[in-house]
Amino acid sequence: MSVTDILSGHFPDGICRNNDRGLDPSITLGIIKRMTKRRFINRTLTTLFIAGIFLLTHPAFSAMNPENTTNLRSIAESIAKPKPLRLKKPKNTFTPVDQKPFFDIPVTYNVQVRKWIKYFQGPGKRGYKKWLERSHRYLPHMQTVLSKRGMPRDLSYIAMIESGFSAHAVSHAAAVGYWQFIKSTANRYGLRTKWWLDERRDFNKSTHAAASYLGDLYNMFGSWYLTASAYNMGENRLKRLIKKYNTKNFWVLSKKRDFPRETRDYIPKMIAAMLIAKAPKLYGFKDLKPKSPHSYEYFYAPGGTDLYVLADHLGIRRKQLKNLNPELVKGFIPSFVQNHKIRIPPGFTLRVSKLIREKKI
């Protein structure tokens, strides 16, 4: 019996009618569903049977063929473990200008910072380039000292904008040396300042003193921006401004009329110097000639030792020995001093000892 017979009302015997008015609708629907399902199953089985015969008999797909079995296995393995794609190398390859820079103090980029970046790239490029080349000599040591105290290494860029890493830098306020200490603050943090000796010019001692001072300032203000600001303008003046305006936000304070102009530029200048120093090629500083870190040994020289006389006996340049000991303002140790620790080039300890025994220096 077909679906057409059912719909046309031709029913074989045994199929119930409903009071001679045709087949009961519920029975009709059930019969149609069963017949449709049976036809679908039969057609599916037939299709699968034909496809199976094709695969078994065709030589390209036959599993009975050992070559095809091997090929099918290798295809399956390649699908399970796909080989990595080999991309063609582009004709023009580019390498990053620098490693990804790391910052351990907050970095703000705004109009003020951009102004100083443009200055260092323009009118101030020659001077900044010297700072950058000199930084390779002093930054590693300064950052190590700061890191050992658990302080941000990037605070070392304060020395860059303060002195350009020069032992002989002197400000209009009589601040001296790498970290630009005024005399009173230097003495407070253990740096000696005498007519023949100024330890503000000693890069090791002054760095330890600066780390102590910066640590104390951070304990006062709780902000590295304010710490650097206080380093520049003095902690007492900054305390008064914070109390007056009831804010510890540097950018808010810097807009006030009585905020020092030099300190207003201090933080943007430091950030700009730091950004360029961490990726100099990106900002156009390419042909740099970095200064090598000082290499030296310590030696306790007696009073009366003259650096120039010592350099002549050792056969080295006077300037080399003077650069290792910039804290000796006059270039010698007074005779009334028992001894003083100086720096000498590596490998000269025995020769210096012999010269001292023979009283040639």
* Active site residue ranges: 162
**Length of the chain as a residue count:** 361
Query: Taking Cα atoms as reference points, which of 336, 21, 26 lies closest to residue 194?
Result: 336
CA distance 125 to 287: 12
Amino acid identity, position 304: G
DSSP string, 204-252: HHHHHHHHHHHHHHHHHHS-HHHHHHHHHH-HHHHHHHHHHHT---HHH
Report the sign of the C-alpha dihedral through residues 202, 207, 212, 216, in that order.
positive
Q: Which residues contact 251 (CB under 8 A, 6 or more apart)?
A: 108, 110
- With residues binned 3-state (H G I as helix, E B as strand, rest as coil), the percentages for the chain, rounded to 5, are 55, 5, 40
CA distance 276 to 281: 8
Report residue 58 as tokens.
């065709």
CA distance 10 to 2: 10
